Chain A
Amino acid sequence: GESVGLHLPTLSVQEGDNSIINCAYSNSASDYFIWYKQESGKGPQFIIDIRSNMDKRQGQRVTVLLNKTVKHLSLQIAATQPGDSAVYFCAEGEGGKLIFGQGTELSVKP
């Protein structure tokens, strides 16, 4: 029979622009959040994490924002490059395990 793939939200940006990928999490008791990047044929790659006692954390070209009031997490990528094209997953830490969101596909146009 026909197989149905996961319909990921897609974000398309121009090279050099900033990208913002959003994520809503479900468990108000989660105290750890993390972003991963997954390229085709590879495992998820750690980008940046944040604990619940913070609302912002910056890395190299990336910033994670956490809004616990509305249970929202975002990943900002500055000066997006073609190599940033991938699927991005947020995950929340719950009792030692990471629960992943469905992912967003980022497409960077040169």
Chain B
Amino acid sequence: DSGVTQTPKHLITATGQRVTLRCSPRSGDLSVYWYQQSLDQGLQFLIQYYNGEERAKGNILERFSAQQFPDLHSELNLSSLELGDSALYFCASSRQGTNSPLHFGNGTRLTVT
């Protein structure tokens, strides 16, 4: 068990809808990362937060947004969902913001129908 908790485990929704994925990092970890894993794209970095501030941004669509709250949990909001957004979404956390292992949760599987 990595200590990173993601909810929900599975989410099925329709195109055009909006969903929120939640992540609780390991105790003591200040940095949270979001990754998308789809069959044809592998693990794609979306965004990183460190102690509530956005630290780095990857290939995150404008329809997606995230935030990290004062208690360090994070949420990833996906809106105007398209079929191609169906994927596994992983949250990871680390002690520091750079050059330290990321510890991943077990992901949220999003299916857009």
User: Shortest CB–CB separation between residue A52 and chain B, in angstroms?
Assistant: 10
Q: Does the CB pair A6–B90 fall under 8 Å?
A: no
A49 to B98, CA, bound (A): 13
A99 to B105, CA, bound (A): 17
Interface size on B, residues (CB 8 A): 28
A43 to B41, CA, bound (A): 16
A100 to B59, CA, bound (A): 13
Q: Does the CB pair B2–A43 fall under 8 Å?
A: yes
Contacts across chains A and B counted by CB atoms under 8 Å: 68
Chain B: which residue is nearest A89 at the CB level?
B43
Q: Does the CB pair A95–B56 fall under 8 Å?
A: yes
Chain B: which residue is nearest A96 at the CB level?
B98
Q: Does the CB pair B48–A97 fall under 8 Å?
A: yes
Does A3 reach chain B (CB closer than 8 Å)? yes
User: Shortest CB–CB separation between residue B5 and chain A, in angstroms?
Assistant: 11
Interface string of B89-113 (1 = CB under 8 A from A): 0101000011101111111000000
A93 to B33, CA, bound (A): 13
Central interface residue in A6, A42, A44, A101, by most chain B CB within 10 Å: A44
Q: Does the CB pair B58–A44 fall under 8 Å?
A: no
Q: Does the CB pair A102–B42 fall under 8 Å?
A: yes
User: Shortest CB–CB separation between residue B92 and chain A, in angstroms?
Assistant: 8
Q: Does the CB pair B106–A97 fall under 8 Å?
A: no
A103 to B98, CA, bound (A): 22
Q: Does the CB pair B97–A44 fall under 8 Å?
A: no
**Chain B 1-60 interface residues, beta-carbon cutoff 8 Å to A:** 2, 4, 33, 35, 39-45, 48, 50, 55-56, 58
Residues of B near any A CB (own CB < 8 A): 2, 4, 33, 35, 39-45, 48, 50, 55-56, 58, 90, 92, 97-99, 101-107
List 10 A-B pairs, Cβ < 8 Å: A5-B40, A31-B99, A43-B106, A44-B43, A44-B104, A93-B98, A97-B45, A98-B102, A100-B42, A100-B45
Residues of A near any B CB (own CB < 8 A): 3-6, 31-32, 34, 36, 41-46, 49, 51, 89, 93, 95-103
